[in-house]
A = this chain, B = another copy of it.
Amino acid sequence: MAALTDSATTISELKNRVLAFARERDWEQFHSPKNLSMALAAESGELMEHFLWSTPEQSRAVAVDAVKRQKIAEELADVIIYALEFANVTGLDVAAAIEAKMAANARKYPVEKARGRADKYTEL
Establish whether residues A24 and B60, one from each chain, have CB atoms under 8 Å apart when the complex forms: no
Is the Cβ of A59 less than 8 Å from the Cβ of B72?
A: no
Docked Cα-Cα span, A77 to B7, in Å, equals 20
Query: Which interface class (under 10, 10 to 19, 20 to 34, 35 or more) fits A?
Result: 35 or more
Bound-state CA distance A99–B18 (Å) is 10
The answer to whether A24 touches B95, judged by C-beta atoms less than 8 angstroms apart, is no
Nearest residue (CB) in B for A119 is B53
Query: In the bound complex, do residue A111 and residue B32 qualify as a contact, i.e. CB atoms below 8 Å apart?
Result: no
CB distance from A94 to the nearest CB of B (A): 5
> CB distance B4 to A10 under 8 Å?
no
Q: Cβ of A105 and Cβ of B32 under 8 Å apart?
A: no
Contact residues, A66-115 vs B (CB, 8 A): 69, 72-74, 76-81, 83, 86-87, 89-102, 104-106, 109, 111, 114-115
